[in-house]
Amino acid sequence: MRRKTLTQYLIEQQREFGNIPAELRLLIEIVSRACKTIGYNVSKGALGGVLGSAGSENVQGEIQKKLDVISNEILLEANEWGGHLAAMASEEMEQVHHIPNRYPKGEYLLLFDPLDGSSNIDVNVSIGTIFSVLRCPDGVCEATEQDFLQPGTRQVAAGYAVYGPQTVLVLSTGHGVHCFTLDREMGSWVLTQENMRIPEDTKEFAINASNSRHWYPPVKRYVDELLLGAEGPRGKDFNMRWIASMVADVHRILTRGGIFMYPADARDPSKPGKLRLMYEANPMSFLVEQAGGAATNGAQRMLEVQPTSLHERVAVFLGSKNEVERVTGYHRQD
């Protein structure tokens, strides 16, 4: 059987749906090449001198790893010159990154978390890159933060790469979710899974249980029911999985089902959650919905949340539809 590359897939999608013009295809291909470069740096590990702290903090006040900084620079440099972007925004940078004047500008906005799961870098556990693509509003000459503040329903593409035993790229342009595996010998992304689907029911959940004493009642009620297993109200046993890399946890869910939860909690009631709406929650929710799952912030559909700032945080519940609806229902009853 002839293997289909990422470029062939994108061209076929344009022919079938008319949803991937040349500029968007170029953008996706450049992001995918940047992910290959990041994956190479990740794979070098201590041999490349890329492990450990960079000795700096990002906009959220988190200590940056060397690979955080390297990955951010790779994505910026790869996407500046192509003429397909109006501007970029990164989880690692406080302000919008404008395209230098020496380069042409395009009609798209790119947002990314350059290296998700940074706490796992030094212990050789799967990490990844998450990205989201929006259209720049018409008539904008110099994109500002306000131009990025579009609900997730406005995304034209979203995806992530996982740097694990295999390097994979998972992508949606609005017509299903497809997985590409990096052929290291050929240097190309090869389509290995089409139309990924999340089962509506599951027996797996992912949550950081060390925070259980801080959970609000709806989350505690839901998880307690799962832990009671076959003897409890759910009538079946559940397994807990927690990798602490959102890309790896979500990839497992896209592959075999499950629910991922990162709720708000009582440690700081002023914070609506830990994960970032624009860089993590929206692109992952887009992919999950395209695969037949559901995603909410506990109160409403994630993709309908209207962003108010570039680095806004949000509670996240996503994955198998029936479980997401159940825990969201508990929040609405509270």
- The model's pLDDT over 285-312, given as tens digits with 9 standing for 90+, comes to 999 999 999 999 999 999 999 999 999 9
Tell me which of 148, 164, 193 is where a domain ends.
Answer: 193
Q: In terms of domains, do 25 and 164 share one?
A: yes
CA gap 277, 122 in Å, rounded:
26
Domain shared by 157 and 225, yes or no: no
State the Cα–Cα distance between residues 2 and 74, nearest whole angstrom. Answer: 32
pLDDT score, position 141: 82
Give dist(CA 149, CA 126) in Å, integer: 30
User: Residue 56 annotated as binding?
Assistant: no
**Residue 174, phi-psi category: left (phi > 0), alpha (psi -120 to 50), beta (remainder):** left
Residues of the chain where predicted confidence (pLDDT) is lower than 50:
none
Same domain, 123 and 31: yes
Residue 237 labelled as part of a binding site = no
Q: Is residue 198 part of a domain?
A: no
- The verdict on whether residue 208 carries a ligand-binding annotation is yes
116 is in an annotated binding site: yes
Q: Would you state the pLDDT for residue 229?
A: 97
Regarding whether 133 and 28 lie in a shared domain, the answer is yes
Q: Judge if pTM exceeds 0.85.
A: yes
* Structure confidence at residue 54 (pLDDT): 62
Q: What is the model's pLDDT at position 159?
A: 98
Q: Say if residue 117 carries a ligand binding annotation.
A: yes
Residue 101, annotated ligand binder? no
pLDDT of 283 reads: 98
Q: Is 115 flagged in the annotation as binding?
A: yes
Tell me the two tokens of residue 293: 């799952």
Specify the number of domains making up the chain.
2
Same domain as 152, residue 55: yes
CATH number at residue 211: 3.40.190.80
Q: Which of 193, 214, 248 is the last residue of a domain?
A: 193
151 with 229, same domain: the answer is: no
* C-alpha pair distances (Å), 77 with each of 11, 81, 98, 272, 280: 25, 8, 12, 33, 21
Residue 1 lies in a domain: no
| pLDDT (0 to 100) of residue 270 | 87
In terms of DSSP H, where are the helices of 157-310?
217-227, 246-256, 282-290
Same domain for 188 and 211, yes or no, is: no
User: Which single residue is written with the structure tokens 């052929």?
Assistant: 183
Query: Is 62 annotated as a binding-site member?
Result: no
Assess whether 228 and 125 both reside in one domain. no
Tell me the three state secondary structure of residue 262.
strand
Residue 66, annotated as binding a ligand? no
Q: Residues 11, 107: one domain? A: yes
Q: Does any domain span residue 170?
A: yes
Is there a binding annotation on residue 119?
A: yes
**Is residue 199 situated within a structural domain?**
no
Residues paired with residue 192 on neighbouring β-strands, in sequence order? none
Q: Are residues 228 and 298 in the same domain?
A: yes
Residue 27 phi/psi, 5-degree rounding, is -60, -50
Q: 90 and 121 share a domain?
A: yes
Strand spans (E) along the chain: 53-57, 63-65, 85-90, 97-98, 108-116, 127-135, 157-163, 167-172, 178-183, 188-193, 204-206, 239-240, 259-262, 275-276, 294-296, 313-314, 316-319
Tell me the two tokens of residue 24. 């968007």
Please provide the DSSP assignment of 277-294 as one string: IIIIIHHHHHHHHHTT-E
Last residue of one domain, picked from the residues 193, 219, 253 = 193
Residue 259: Cβ-neighbour burial (10 angstroms; 0-12, 13-18, 19+) = buried
Residues 16 and 164 in one domain: yes
CATH number of the domain where residue 115 is located: 3.30.540.10
Q: Which domain holds residue 272?
A: 204-333
